[in-house]
Chains A and B, each alone.
Chain A
Amino acid sequence: MGYQVILDIIGSSIIGGLLFLTLLNFTAQTMETKQTYRDEIVAQENLVNVVTVMEEDFRRMGYCTVRSNMSNPIVTMAAAESVRFKTDLPDPTKASGEGDGVVDSISYAFGAPVLATANPNDRMLLRRENTGPYGGSSMGVTVFHLTYLTSTGDSIPSPVPAARLNEINAVEVTISVENINPYSSVSGPDSLATVLVNWKQLTFQIKN
């Protein structure tokens, strides 16, 4: 014992304390990173879930097993945030996903803000088959925008008047999804940190 031991204890305490503080800081950063990851996962999963359903629907636009039953216009209502188009929905008796030959319709609409979530920007994405009730999806969708294009790629202003519905050859869908529960950002108590993921796809209506 002596000075040597005392110096060892003091030195190790200082270095250990510094390391401990570093560790705390590192852990906090890790937690934040993990939170970001988690938000990204949630937002991405929500986007993928929305897109999976929507892709399947839009790829059926104009499809019918009995093609003479399908008639123009395929898109029967076209606005910037809502659309209705003709299709042939899957026949539950067929595993292949083929329809029954009866013309159906699918509608999409961007609904009201979702009040149950902390994110003030997300809105309900509504989907309806034929004349049934609208089903809502609170997936953190903050942008749902539709652009309608002619066969030459020119966009048609929305809402598309009934007389021009026949001109629609492709529909461009843009979706943005944010996490539904953003947390307070360090940049300011009033701002919310959120994760944003986007998806855009051009779908051509089927010309049977």
Chain B
Amino acid sequence: MTGRLALLLVAGMIVAMLIVNAMMNTSDATDNFVSYVHRSNAYDIAVSGANEASTMMYFNKSLRGHIKNNETLSGGTIDIVIQNVGAKIQVVSTGTYPPSGPNKQTQQVIFYLGPGYFDNFVVLTDNDDGTVPWTTYDTAYGAVHSNNTLKMDHYGGSLIMPVFNDRVTTTKPLIITAGTKPVFTYPPESGVSVQFPTAFDSVADPPFLVGTTNFNSTITAGNGLINLNTAKEVHMQFFVDGSGNQMVRYFRDGKRMTNNGYGDFRTTDTVAAVPSDGIVYEPGVDVYVEGTIKDKVSVLTIPDGSGKGGNLIVTNDVLCQTDPRAGSSPDFIGLLAQNNVIIGNTGNDNATNSGSNRFMIDASIVALTGGLAAADNSSRNRQILDIFGSITQEVRRGVGYGSLPIGSSTGGFMKGYKYDYRLLNDHALLMPTTPLLSLQSWLVHTVI
């Protein structure tokens, strides 16, 4: 009897120790892993919420408020708040998984939307049918888009092919001629469409009108590509005076062609002060422009009722007073034409421009129904058309071509276009806005 009791005692102890041991084996490792999985789920829910908010705002741009209040989604909860923060729209999407309990994890996606502008591309063309190719020596640093196609061509020899340093998108596939090897940082995408602007933004600032007297003249530009009608014209030379004031010198009595090219501005010409953050607006006039600009100044020209005017002819470098290529600059220039923006043939480029076989423009250029062109593009000096900013144009026009080296007496311009990344955040006056909002920033944030 005593033996059986001892046996039972030992068996009882074994059972007790088994229970104690089982209780001492924790599930911490599993909990740890589960927490990570929960956080990943919370992240996915937050991203889903951000996408949902974007879709809802696509259909209703005025949507604001607490549009999702901890609603169930994929076993967790989603909370979405849309509100105005300054000039931007802030969207906060909070994902929680599971909805409650000690392992609850919360992730947040905070992103901002702002008005989209057409200056998000270094070159945006609505209708590029491939007639004017991108070719040897051309470079584009910034996004390039065409609502039609883009043609890549080359000249003989193992020359540098057109180089694209950012995204290249088209609606139709690219045309790449045999033997051409364009250099892309990102593979080009087709099937992409960008709605093109139809009008300049409403004039928020009162326009500054240069004079009131008009003068009739005729010019044929763009190597016969563009025939400017007999239009009134005004020649403007912007400069910053010794007191730091933005001034413009102008005349209207026709072109003054000299060995130094267009302009030949004289001390007797009218000089006027341009208001800070001003707009120079010339309807029914072809505007010839050059010089140095500070702060925000846009030059806008549209045709008159008879269709005359509305072209902008650049006769020499147009530069910001504070060089944006060197870093930050408060200066933003808009060269805005209802028709074309034309690089005028100054007759002696090296003498009048930056002296390094470059024609330099720091501006957002818009040719709403026309394109950017160069006068006499095949017969003028071989130079680099050095544009730092953005180009928005309805059609592609020629600025130069060939394999001749820089400095040759013919061949026109090789393209050296660089996007001004300041334009992602700030813009020239009157730059048209897109009908869609654009993403300003995107942040993933762990709350718990």
Contacts and interface: CB of A to CB of B under 8 A. Distances in A.
B300 interface: no
Interface residues of A, number: 50
Contacts of A22: 14
Contacts of B35: 48
Nearest to B14: A23
Contacts, number: 110
Interface of A: 5, 8-9, 11-13, 15-16, 19-20, 22-23, 26-27, 30, 33-34, 37, 40-41, 44-45, 48, 51-52, 56, 59-60, 63-72, 96-99, 150-152, 166-167, 169, 206, 208
B111 to A, nearest CB: 10
B2 A8 contact: yes
Given A37-B25, A59-B444, A208-B441, A44 B3 contact: no
Given A52-B446, A166-B165, A206-B442, A19 B14 contact: yes
Given A16-B7, A41-B32, A98-B445, 9 more contacts: A19-B14, A23-B13, A51-B36, A56-B445, A96-B92, A99-B443, A169-B186, A208-B424, A208-B440
Given A97-B110, A152-B187, A63 B424 contact: no
Contacts of A5: 2-3
B11 interface: yes
Given A41-B32, A44-B33, A51-B36, A8 B3 contact: yes
Contacts of B444: 56, 59-60
B204 interface: no
A48 B36 contact: yes
A9 B32 contact: no
A96 B110 contact: yes
Contacts of B92: 96
B7 A98 contact: no
Given A19-B14, A30-B21, A33-B25, A65 B441 contact: yes
B145 to A, nearest CB: 15
B443 A60 contact: yes
A72 B167 CA distance: 13
Contacts of B26: 37, 41
Contact of B10 (A19, A63, A67, A96): A19
Q: Which 7 residue pairs spanning A and B have beta carbons closest together? A: A8-B3, A68-B425, A12-B3, A97-B445, A59-B444, A68-B424, A40-B29
Interface in B1-39: 1-4, 6-7, 10-11, 13-14, 17-18, 21, 24-26, 28-29, 32-33, 35-36, 39
A136 to B, nearest CB: 22
Given A56-B446, A208-B424, A48 B32 contact: yes
Contacts of B10: 15-16, 19-20
A166 B185 contact: yes
B174 interface: no
A67 B440 contact: yes
B32 A12 contact: no
Given A12-B6, A45-B32, A67 B110 contact: no
B155 interface: no
Contacts of A71: 421
Given A40-B29, A44-B33, A63 B11 contact: no
Q: Say which size band chain B's interface belongs to.
A: 35 or more
Nearest to B420: A68
B45 to A, nearest CB: 15
B421 A68 contact: yes
Contacts of B424: 67-68, 208
A71 B17 CA distance: 65
A41 B24 CA distance: 14
B6 A16 contact: yes
A12 B4 contact: yes
Contacts of B194: none
Contacts of B426: 68
A34 B187 contact: no
A208 B4 contact: no
Nearest to B186: A151
Nearest to A206: B442
Contact of B441 (A15, A52, A63): A63
A139 B14 CA distance: 39
B425 A67 contact: yes
Interface hub of B165, B185, B441 (most chain A Cβ within 10 A): B441
B439 interface: yes
